[in-house]
Amino acid sequence: EWPLRPGGPFTPPDDTKLSTVIVNLNKAPEHRWDEAITPYKADIVSLIETITDNVNKYVLEVADIAFDLLLQTLPDPYKSEIKGVAKILGLPEGQVVLYNIFYELFTVCTSIIEEDSNGQLYHARNLDFGLFLGWDNANDTWLMSERLRKIVVNVDFQRDGKTAYQSASFLGYVGLLTAVKQPLFTLTINERFNKEGGFVGIYRWILGNRNAKWMGFLTRDVMESANSYSEAKHMLSTQELLAPAYYILGGNSTGEGVIITRGLNGVEDYQELNITSGRWFLLQTNYDPWDEAPFFDDRRTPGNMCVKQWGQENVGYKSLFNVLSTKPNLNKLTVYSTVMTVRGDIQSWLQQCKTPCTPW
């Protein structure tokens, strides 16, 4: 039912809260993921088989060769980390590259930034993934989404025994889609449905354009290098990309929240918090803010209604979780929900929309 009203429950079951793994950045890149991935090996292999099962056998053989060659052109530490992941999984390196690239192409999301009456910023997102990658009739859900729920975790990236940044992520994927660098900024990526989508970027990369960044790698670069909201905003605005995207960035001071609409070569639009004019929240799905959302995938309108129903006086983990748990922002593709701040924990929960529920 939507919109849920203030006073609604904040009752995610304990068994839906994501576990946390540690990635030690002091280790050699090819061994950073060993301890995190090993317990989940069978589930990750099963997931990658779901991807490859949707690819023609001949095409897959060609892809194994092509993506293996593509791997050699990727920048470190990502190249070495992918090699290490492939070794642990016992899979061809090309298939693990394909697995990482899929997140550049098929991610459907909702991201929200809200500021409460005390100037505290909250950043939330639903990660929806698996569209058109096989339907499980027995369980009435997308097969890919079902298998992803088994390998999603919170990742604590540590250096010298201390947290450098944190994320909610799918094991085996070395980029970042949802992350926080405390006490500085929070960041999520939403795919931007655009004619110059990720396939165009991959083609350009193969043809030799190596100046552009993979969107998930850029997010991790920002977590590694930026030491302020303004530095992160600059990096996300100026770096050439392989695919159009929305970067949703939150800071640690009042008004520090922005949706950066990115084309391949630069910024096309900024949507920013403006408390003095009454703009205390931002909500982004997968369509340009200045265009109407299509009737067959309008998560924006009900999402905005839910946020306004709760109101600025109720901003927090409870209200944001309930907004993210309301259809159609919660749908058959939704794998997890995350709520995070620069002064608190990153909290993430598995999500599963029970029938009746929209497919996306």
- The answer, yes or no, to whether the previous bond of 328 is cis (omega within 30 of 0) is yes
Q: How many helices (H) and strands (E) does the chain have?
A: 11, 15
Beta bridge partner(s), residue 174? none
Q: Cα–Cα distance between 294 and 300 in angstroms, integer?
A: 10
Beta bridge partner(s), residue 260? 247, 270
Question: HSE on the CB side for 119, CA within 13 Å?
Answer: 7
Cβ–Cβ < 8 Å for 335, 146: no
**Beta strand pairing call for 152-159 and 20-24:** parallel
Give the end-to-end CA distance of the chain in Å, rounded to a whole number. 16
109, 306, 353, 357: which one is catalytic? 109
Pick from 260, 262, 278, 279: which is nearest to 270 by CA? 260
Amino acid (one-letter) located at 300: R
Cβ–Cβ < 8 Å for 156, 21: yes
Q: Cα–Cα distance between 292 and 295 in angstroms, integer?
A: 9
- Is 306 a residue of the active site? no
Q: Which helix (H) or strand (E) holds 335?
A: strand 334-340
Amino acid (one-letter) located at 162: K
Residues of 7-16 as b/e, b for ≥16 C-beta within 10 angstroms? ebeeebeeee
Amino acid (one-letter) located at 55: V
Cβ–Cβ < 8 Å for 260, 246: yes
Q: Which residues are catalytic?
A: 109
